Structures are given as C-alpha cells and as structure tokens.
Structure 1
C-alpha cells in the first residue's frame, strides 16, 4: 500500500483538515433508564414482651451425721508370759 495514500486519507479533493467539515447528521440514542434509590429510615416503636419463668429446683444431697455406739467388756490377763513361737513354713525353698 502506498504511504502517501494513507497520509492523504483525511484530505478530500485536496483540502486540508482544517478546511474540511463533513456533513454528519447528529444522532440521538437513549440508554435504558437507571433506577436510583434513596433510602430514608424512620424509627418505629416495636414493643417486645419477654416472659421470664423462674423454676425453683429442689435437690436432696447427703449430709453425713455420724452416730457412734460403744461397748465394754472385761478380759482376764494372766501374769505368765507365753513363749515366742516361730512359724515355720511347710514349703521348702527350691535351689536354682
């Protein structure tokens, strides 16, 4: 492609760009509308009734109260000492 052809594309019939004013009709297009919301808040009194139920729970828990009994008895003790008896095992030790 010729370089001069690309350069002269903006010129029509030898006119400079400053002199050239094409007759392009004005067009109007409409975009779909944009919905915009503004939120305003106002206080509204709302009564809330909350019922409170108290349940009294009763529990049995053990508390120990000690009662003591005692007895007495008389025992005669002689003045003669008994001999010391040594207990002998009936099993013999095995040697390894």
Structure 2
C-alpha cells in the first residue's frame, strides 16, 4: 500500500454471484390405483349316477301255462 496522496484508491468488482435459497412446500398429488375385478364362471361336472334295474321272471320246468319271460324295468336315481 502506498501512502502517496496522489494515488487515488480504486475499487475492483468481481462479477456478482447468485446464491439460491430453495424452500420446499408439500403439495398433495393423488395417485389413482385402478382395480378391475373379473368374475369368472366355470362349468364343473357334477356326476349324477343313475342305476337301471332289470328284473326277469323265468319259469323253468313243468309249470302249467308257461307264458314265457316277463321283464320289469325299474329306473332308480341317486
């Protein structure tokens, strides 16, 4: 530094620097989750057992008046 009265002081400026202060505020954002329910219908076999019964009367031997074979059909459900 010079104490010379003839030397005037001088100011030199650096380019300005920018300083940011960030402030964050909550903001509600709805997120929609779509759900699709698919009802599937299936045919499932359920077994229904049907029994048929056949009854025969057979006459053997020396029966008088043989008429031959008689058949009776009965259908039964479970």
Shorter-chain TM band: 0.3 to 0.5
The structure with the greater share of residues assigned to helix is 1
TM-score (norm 1): 0.33
Q: Which has the larger radius of gyration?
A: 1
**Structure with larger RCO (C-alpha < 8 A, sep 6+):** 2
The structure with the greater share of residues assigned to strand is 2
